[in-house]
Chain A
């Protein structure tokens, strides 16, 4: 007999809301029962699904899972109210605007209810394969990580809610760099020491458009992240140096394809025999052409609900730890933490 479908509601029907709808409709264990957005023009375009213009109305429906796809400033309330109403929550990253937001959310995490955050990069094919190789032990321990992740902004960039501090809480590091920091934690665990420089040299927002973060952990592993909104060519690259070789994940399968073809380079160091090509080892490169990350992370979440097991990937502790690094980075870079006033109009951009 087939298992009863889990009923899902989406809050916020922008870019991410649309992606989540496709994932829900693609998953045979899920059923979409409602979409909520405060923008009536957006709701008019929704077909084949009941719509609601208030979150409370959606929450009153027979819903098992809330997908929170709203701007950052609304994240804590949606997560907390959903958990209080006994719903499981899948929430986009970042988990709020600051460390305090995720601390608040975590206080309402109840036994039995599942809470997962959308760190989908963990489920990208290049990252999955790299993790598998590292966990096999064949390449020894990680010495260091170097990640660069950036985009160019665009015509609407200045108007985006992402660059309104009152709504987003942070700049490019919080919006996009958080994925790289989360991957650093995936591979090396927690980092205690955090140093950061940041600037807003080009876009002139009251948020950083470039952040340079250096991390160190108790195992003396180091990680360097350059998160940027001034990479005129969209870039994702993660170099992992290990005792016995190196891995490079470059390019990222995405909706637009602008980050290039996703690939994983695998190489073993060669200096046992000096006659061999030192410093230029044989490499194997895997090119990937299918991004299942959105589906895989939700499948993992659904499995936790169905089997009543704790969320172990992208859980609230992962979200908290990533935000803790960002909090330390912002403090080290001297970025002020004052909050502005939320303008609802901005949230729709």
Chain B
């Protein structure tokens, strides 16, 4: 199994401008109340990774409780809305409109350069490495314009399918060779179709995680590959700032898996891990920002020492986090057995 370490330079604000993120969080807070809290359909959940029923309340966010699994230390919201309610939220909430209309447009250039391009390189090069005969790529739920363009431009697949009920295609957008299936993943019934499936940041906002994992297994051919990314609770910034984390709120982060939990989830459901990496760039900067915004914030003493050290030390520490799979940004490549 591989582990990837990257060196690159960008700041949290390159992708999440402070003002816009604050506004987005505020809108989300209002929408969470509107879409979820009034509903009687919130259901108690077990750990989405290891299914353990043992957990403790970690912190509250927007009226919903994050719980920490006592077994694998995954963070997850419980009680939680179901996927139909989440679909409704992403289709109709003001915060989602804001995300598409303002946030993604404001960060479009950096997002393409720092997120989408490396992701595409990873997907294409790993496919060449592990499954050079791959022809069909299905993406579940990553529908953003910059990403769609990159998907269209990819030349190594004959068939590219986007399964996403939330994508709002502009009239001027040419689908080209891209098949867009405007369905939710749980309604998609095709079996054994894809050589490659991608789910970028999708597991984080899925209520029925076991259902999605089973769906990936269903859609993939035997030996097929699945690329996924997400935020990890085992990462440095989340462990250090915990309930002070500004970028953790539902439903975008309904689940924040620990690395061990995520690995176990796939290995017990018919997959093997080919790559398990945490190539995050921003852990130290995120903690530093929280500290600068509020110097009285409660931080582990050693974490405070690291984030206030020289830039060279901070960079080396970030590299150490990557090398030891301790960053909070995870990317995982699995293969259907």
Contact = CB atoms under 8 A, between A and B. Distances in A.
Contact of B6 (A129, A277, A282): A282
A129 to B, nearest CB: 6
A288 interface: yes
Interface string B121-153: 000010011000000000000000000000000
Interface in A262-305: 277, 282-290
B184 interface: no
A300 to B, nearest CB: 15
Nearest to A285: B5
Contacts of B6: 282-285
B92 to A, nearest CB: 39
B8 interface: yes
Interface string A124-151: 0100110011001000000000000000
A287 B9 CA distance: 21
Interface residues of B, number: 14
Nearest to A287: B3
Given A129-B129, A133-B125, A136-B128, A286 B2 contact: yes
B1 interface: yes
Contact of A287 (B2, B8, B125): B2
12 contacts: A133-B125, A136-B125, A277-B9, A282-B7, A283-B6, A284-B4, A285-B4, A285-B6, A286-B2, A287-B5, A288-B2, A289-B3
Interface size class of A (residues with CB under 8 A): 10 to 19
A128 B126 CA distance: 12
B285 interface: no
Contacts of A287: 2-5, 323
A127 to B, nearest CB: 12
A341 B323 CA distance: 51
Contact of A283 (B2, B3, B7, B323): B7
Interface string A112-129: 000000000000010011
Interface of B: 1-9, 125, 128-129, 279, 323
Contacts of B8: 282
A286 B323 CA distance: 10
A167 B150 CA distance: 59
A289 B2 CA distance: 6
Contacts of A129: 129
A133 to B, nearest CB: 7
Given A129-B129, A133-B125, A136-B128, A284 B5 contact: yes
A285 B320 CA distance: 12
Contacts of A125: 2
Contacts of B5: 284-285, 287
Nearest to B3: A287
A277 B8 CA distance: 10
A133 B8 CA distance: 20
Contacts of A136: 125, 128
Contacts of A132: 125, 128-129
Contact of B9 (A282, A284, A288, A290): A282
B4 A286 contact: yes
B9 A289 contact: no
Given A128-B129, A132-B125, A285-B6, 4 more contacts: A277-B9, A282-B6, A287-B5, A287-B323
B297 to A, nearest CB: 31
Nearest to A129: B129
A-B pairs, top 5 by smallest CB distance, nearest first, are A285-B5, A282-B8, A287-B3, A284-B6, A283-B7
